Amino acid sequence: MTLYNLSIHDAAERLRKKEISSRELTLSVLERIAKTDTKVKAYITLNEDQALAQADQADQAISKGIARPLTGIPLSIKDLICTQGLLTTCASKILENFVPTYDATVIEKLKAQGAVILGKVNMDEFAMGSTTEHSGFKITANPWNLDHTPGGSSGGSAASVAADMCLGSLGSDTGGSIRQPASHCSVVGLKPTYGRVSRYGLVAFASSLDQIGPLTKNVKDCALMMNAIAGYDPKDSTSVNECVPDFTATLTQSIKGKKIGIPREYFSTEGIDPDVKNSIDQALDTLKSLGAQCVDISLPHTPYAVAAYYVIAPSEASSNLARFDGVKYGIRDMEQTELVDMYKKSRSRGFGLEVQRRIIIGTYALSSGYYDAYYKKASQVRTLIIRDFKAAFESCDILISPVSPSPASIIGQHSEDPLKMYLSDIFTISANMAGIPGLSVPCGFNQMGLPVGLHLMGRHFDEATLLNVAHCFESATDFHTKRPSL
């Protein structure tokens, strides 16, 4: 029996019934990684010894009857979430030797559940990019077609889930970095409401937009992982003390009468791939057949979202990344004798070009004399986007759109055209700007067999409705059962 292809809730069930042990499960996944990751290249760091030790601990807990939903479940972690004693590189050369002395709050929570940490997975450097090509170490391939990217920035997370090299993964989403790779790899990905999950220990890209979330093989697994990681954290001032429901409790509720908003600005966007459009139309038909009602709504400030995002995110990043200066940790150019030269050389050597580009954009936007025209104006646009969503959710329960205008790009295709890469974030960015939750659920494949995802956005702290609608959709379709052949 192969174990690596189990879902979280399947595996948890079998662990509880003692049909399998966590050690067997973990070994099975490690073997899968050994065989498959030479092709996919999702992992930056493998945590084999620790993982097996954690599996043994989990087996003991299970034998004592104190198992929790994620006890003994092998997971991968995006490499910008700090793990105590385990290399955390952010896929950047500047942190190629950085081993944190602390766990991120989400890691503490996973460990408290007895989860098994398999290792750290690839991403665009510091989460800046949407293809995982901007990693300082390796390019991860899409398990569905190795010539294509897995999307990004949480490409390693999505690819490791799709290729059965873990049962679930934690990613982070600043402008679509969980949802877009989930869509491109045919897995489920959720960006929770801003403040729902602690950011403590998540290496910051853009602090006001970043949020950690799960990538999983199905919606129920996503709900289980959310149960584990959500909640107020006194160590993160921006986390919100809002009650956390059991996200699995409402998954199977009927969605009859649920109002689904169709933002007309999204569907009139030029450049939506016809196969993507087709899949979304069919998904809407499925939802209607389940009793949902579609309503036409407007998000009038959509055209300004990408521009405002690409001012705010790089501005915050330019400041957040200042700490990587070669002084305290990470790499330092040892040949320089002058302080400023040491800074310049260490940072030029350590940061990749995309990261440097964004630091320069952000530094410019915050400069004296430009602040009002860029950062301040972008913040005002952000307020208008928040108002758009507030108004929209007065007449609907969730919003639906494609996750990405097109399926996964061919490796190398976007590298020369950053602007095109930025524009492909159009459907996902607004959720980060407004702080609302967004979810990607598999909804089809294009003619080449590349996956397409359906994007659901909901009200602040209403992840439960997104998971409910996504679960009903998933139950009515079979896209999530398909696995890439590797």
Partner 1 sequence: MTYEVVIGLEIHAQLKTDTKIFCGCSTRFGAAPNSQTCPVCLGMPGVLPVVNKKAVEYAIKAGLSMNCDILMDNRFARKNYFYPDLPMGYQITQFDLPIAQKGYLDITLGNGSKKRIGITRIHMENDAGKSNHDPHRPISLVDLNRAGTPLIEIVSEPDMRSAEEAGAFMRQIHALVRYVGVCDGNMEEGSLRCDANVSLRRPGASQFGTRTEMKNLNSFRNIERAIVSEINRQADILDDGGAIVQETRLWNADEGKSVSMRSKEDAHDYRYFPDPDLLPIIIDEVWLARIKDSIPELPEAKKERYSSELGLSAEDAAVLTSSIELARYFERCLAMINKPKLVANWVMVSLLALINAQNISIDDAPVSPESLAELLALVDTDVISGTMAKTVFEDMAKSGKSPKLIVEEKGLAQVSDTSEIEAIVDRILNENPSEVDAFKGGKTKLMGFFVGQIMRATQGKANPAVVNQLLADKLK
**Active-site annotation, residues:** 78, 153, 177
Residue closer to partner 1 by CB (options 289, 337) is 337
Separation CA 152–CA 139 (nearest Å): 11
Residue closer to partner 1 by CB (options 309, 324) is 324
Residue closer to partner 1 by CB (options 316, 397) is 316
CB 106 within 8 A of CB 198: yes
Find the shortest distance in angstroms from Cβ 160 to partner 1: 21
Find the shortest distance in angstroms from Cβ 334 to partner 1: 12
Residue closer to partner 1 by CB (options 102, 267) is 102
CB 88 within 8 A of CB 100: yes
Closest by CA to 19, choosing from 68, 49, 62, is 62
Find the shortest distance in angstroms from Cβ 454 to partner 1: 30
Residue closer to partner 1 by CB (options 35, 349) is 349
Name 380's Cβ contacts closer than 8 Å, sequence gap at least 6.
none
Find the shortest distance in angstroms from Cβ 471 to partner 1: 32
Using the structure block, give the residue that is written with the tokens 């630091």.
359
Sign of the Cα pseudo-torsion (438, 177, 103, 18, in order): positive
Find the shortest distance in angstroms from Cβ 96 to partner 1: 13
Binding residues for partner 1 (CB under 8 A): 80-82, 88, 90, 95, 98, 100-102, 104, 199-204, 206-208, 234-238, 315-316, 318-319, 321-325, 327-329, 337, 339, 343, 363, 366-368, 371, 375
For residue 257, the SS3 value is coil
Terminal alpha carbon distance of the chain: 18
Residue closer to partner 1 by CB (options 17, 328) is 328
Find the shortest distance in angstroms from Cβ 156 to partner 1: 18
For residue 400, the SS3 value is strand
CB 44 within 8 A of CB 137: yes
Residue closer to partner 1 by CB (options 461, 473) is 461
Can you name the residues that pair with 464 across neighbouring β-strands?
Answer: none
Distances (CA, A) of 30 to 22, 52, 67, 164, 249: 12, 10, 22, 10, 32
Residue 117 phi/psi, 5-degree rounding, is -95, 110
Name 252's Cβ contacts closer than 8 Å, sequence gap at least 6.
468, 471, 472, 475
Sign of the Cα pseudo-torsion (391, 192, 411, 132, in order): positive
Separation CA 254–CA 260 (nearest Å): 14
Find the shortest distance in angstroms from Cβ 70 to partner 1: 22
Find the shortest distance in angstroms from Cβ 328 to partner 1: 6
The three-point CA angle 111-112-117 to 5° equals 15
145 secondary structure, DSSP code: B
Residue closer to partner 1 by CB (options 98, 473) is 98
Can you name the residues that pair with 197 across neighbouring β-strands?
Answer: 230
Distances (CA, A) of 391 to 299, 303, 362, 401: 9, 17, 31, 17
Chain mean position to CA 20? 30
**Sheet strands side by side (includes 116-121):** 43-46, 116-121, 74-78, 168-173, 211-216, 188-191, 438-445, 451-458, 398-402, 259-263, 293-297
